[in-house]
């Protein structure tokens, strides 16, 4: 029973850390989207 409780707490801690890092206000997803938009606009503005 104690092992199940410890593993559940660890799982919850990992999920909270993931949400804070990846999906937070300045998380990785927003940074990747911003970088993709920036690169896309730079490529469109290039002259051959």
- The set of residues, in sequence order, having a beta carbon less than 8 Å from that of 20 and lying 6+ positions away, is 27
Give the pLDDT score at 10.
97
* pTM recorded for the entire structure: 0.55
Q: Where are the domains of the chain?
A: 2-45
Give the pLDDT score at 28.
80
Identify the residue whose tokens are 């993931």.
18
User: Could you give the CA distance from residue 1 to residue 22 in angstroms, rounded to a whole number?
Assistant: 32
- The H or E element that residue 47 is part of is none
Give the pLDDT score at 9.
96
CA angle in degrees (0–180, nearest 5) for 43-44-48? 80
Give the pLDDT score at 11.
97
pLDDT tens for each residue of the chain, 48 residues long: 999 999 999 999 999 998 888 877 777 877 888 888 888 888 888 876
Give the pLDDT score at 6.
95
- The set of residues, in sequence order, having a beta carbon less than 8 Å from that of 35 and lying 6+ positions away, is none
């Amino acid at each position: 029973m104690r092992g199940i409780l410890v593993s559940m707490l660890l799982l919850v801690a990992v999920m909270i850390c993931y949400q804070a890092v990846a999906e937070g206000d300045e998380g990785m997803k927003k940074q990747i989207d911003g970088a993709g938009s920036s690169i896309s606009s730079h490529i469109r503005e290039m002259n051959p």
